[in-house]
Structure formats: C-alpha cells, structure tokens
Amino acid sequence: MTLSPELLLGMAAQRLRTARPELSGQLDLSSPQALRAAKARIAALDGPDGSDGALVVCVVSRFDLRSWVRETCRFALGLPAEETAAWRRSFTRTVYLSGRPDNLRERFAFGHIGDDGAVAWTRPAPDAATAALRRLLKAFSGPQPLTSWRPTTVDVPGAIPGGRAPAHRDVYVATARATVATVLVQLNHLLAEAVMDGLIAGGDRLTVRAVPRLAGVGEPFAALRIDTDTHHPDALQAYAGLTEETRVAPSP
C-alpha cells in the first residue's frame, strides 16, 4: 500500500468527518495546516474547559506493549454506546498520567483497570469530572526510545459477536524516532477507533509488529493512525496501522 501524502491527508480528513459530520461541510481540510486549524476550531466549539467534549484519563505505572494493546481494546469494548459516541466526537482525546492505579482506586472512579494493575482508564466525561485526578498526578513522560521487538500476538478479551468469525489482523507500529509516549498515544487512538468501527472485537487476535516506517509494509490497511509529523509540522505521518487482511483466528 502506497502511503502517499495525498492518501494520508484524505484518511486524516475522513477521520475528522466521521467524528464531527455536522461540521465537515464547513471546514477546510485541504492541507495538513488546514486540518490543524479545523481541529483547533472544533476544540474552541467544545469550550475552553472541555465542558462540551469528552476526555479519558489514563493512569500508567509502567508500560508493557502486549498488555497495553490487550487492555486498551478491553477498555474500548466495555464502553456503552453513548460514551463511545461522545469520546469519538472528541477524537478519542486522552490524557496520560504517571501513577499507581491500585493506590488511587478508592479515591477515584475508573472505568477499567488492567489485570496487572499497571494501567487504568476513566470513563469518557467532560474535563471537570477528572480535574482532581489531573491536579494530583504528573503527566506520563515516557521519553525513552521504543526499541524494536519480535512480533507478539494478543488475544482480544471478550465474547465473539454473533454472526462474526474471529479475525486475525496485524498491527504495525512505526518505531523510527518514536518514544514510548508517542507509541502509547498513537496506538490508543488506532485501537479505540478500530473497536468503534467494528474492526476489532472480542475473540479477535492481533499480531503487533515493529517496522521503522509504515511506508514499507506491503499489506493493505483497514485503519491508519495519522497525525502531524513531529519533525516536519507541515507534513503528516502514519504512526500505526491495522491491516485489512483478515484470517480466521486459530483456536487457543
């Protein structure tokens, strides 16, 4: 699949249209700069305090890639439809904080805590609902470079939807100049929105693969996480992708 600048721009623009269809006809989406301006305009419409948007807070004590993928999918799959819709309208906006979920669970309401206790998510809500938690904890920095890894396979928790066979897809992550924090953010958007689009469901199997850049991947993608290139702010970059190729997942 050729990830041309035109393709990246078109898919990034489509993400905005999907999240806010009522505004898509009013926005200029013709360039990366125009996309940034459109997002800023939408943020202003949602209010300076986020009162008309939905925010998720993720508390991280340590990052393990395999666990992160599994628990991110589990969290997104467990959200009711109305909360999913609100979070989608806010472009699955998430703030990452450094802390120990087990030490906070009696003071703050989490929507999901990972099985290993390393990560916890609040449910999507206006910014004010998590203000006390965000004042208490520092931002998760994760500045260390993300090193490459051997392909690792994750079984998505949950029941298989009726009338749908379990699928096996690949998740490619671009690691060139990527930090742990960057991958955490980009994978969260990709996986959560893939769940919302029905591309990932309970019972599926995901094989997570590291590549320097997604441009060299030969498989077609069903979903891409596209954002501003941090080193070239007037360009877009594909940070992660979920393949279109679907195979029946073998029984465990």
Whether residue 120 contacts residue 110, with contact meaning beta carbons closer than 8 Å, is answered with yes
Q: 156-200: per-residue pLDDT in tens? A: 999 888 878 899 999 999 999 899 999 999 999 999 999 999 999
Across all residues in the chain, what is the average pLDDT? 91
Count of the separate structural domains present in the chain:
1
**pLDDT confidence of residue 46:** 77
Q: How many CB atoms lie within 10 A of CB 114?
A: 20
Which parts of the chain register pLDDT below 70?
1, 48-51, 245-252
What range defines the domain where residue 10 resides? Answer: 5-248
**pLDDT confidence of residue 4:** 93
Distances (CA, A) of 123 to 56, 162, 170: 6, 26, 27
Q: 133-148: per-residue pLDDT in tens? A: 999 999 999 888 888 8
**pLDDT confidence of residue 43:** 82
